[in-house]
Amino acid sequence: MTHPKKEIAAAIEYARSKDWRVVEGGSHAWGQMYCPYNDKECRCGEFCRTSIWSTPKSPGNHAKQLRRVVDNCTVHRNKVTNDDEE
Amino acid sequence: MTEFDFLLKFDLPDPETDPNKFVDALYEAGCDDAAIGIGQHGRVALNFTREATSALEAVASAIANVKMAIPEARLVEATPDLVGLTDIAQILGCSRQNIRKLVVGNKSIFPSPIHDGNSAIWHLAKVLPWFKAKGNYKIEDNLIEVSCANMQVNIARQMQDLEPAFHRNIKALLA
pLDDT-flagged residues of chain B (< 70): none
SS3 B114: coil
**Which residue is closest to B4 within chain A, CA to CA?**
A61
Residue B167: what pLDDT? 87
Q: For an interface test with A, which of B5, B38, B77, B79 has the most A Cβ atoms less than 10 Å from its Cβ? A: B38
Residue A40: what pLDDT? 61
- Over the stretch B133-148, which tens digit does the pLDDT of each residue have? 988 898 999 999 999 9
Is there a cis peptide before residue B13, judged by omega within 30 degrees of 0?
no
Q: Residue B152 and residue B56: Cα distance in Å, rounded?
A: 8
SS3 B1: coil
Model ipTM value: 0.89
Each as own residue / partner, the long-range contacts of residues A13-18 (CB below 8 Å, 24 or more positions apart, any chain) are A14/A66, A14/A67, A14/A70, A15/A66, A15/A67, A15/A69, A15/A70, A18/A70, A18/A73, A18/A76
The dihedral sign for the CA sequence B129, B135, B138, B141: positive
User: Looking at the partner chain, which of A46, A51, A55 has a beta carbon nearest the beta carbon of B9?
Assistant: A46
Residue A83: what pLDDT? 53
Residue A85: what pLDDT? 43
pTM: 0.92
Residue B60: what pLDDT? 98
Q: What are phi and psi of B118, to 5 degrees?
A: -60, -40
Residue A79: what pLDDT? 64
DSSP calls for B70-97:
-TT-EEEEEES-EE-HHHHHHHHTS-HH
- Chain B residues with CB under 8 Å of A63 CB are none
Q: For an interface test with A, which of B3, B18, B47 has the most A Cβ atoms less than 10 Å from its Cβ? A: B47
Residue B81: what pLDDT? 98
Share of chain A above pLDDT 70, in %: 77
Walk along chain A (86 residues) and give the pLDDT tens digit of each residue: 899 999 999 999 999 999 999 999 999 999 999 998 866 666 558 999 999 999 999 999 999 999 999 998 866 666 665 554 43
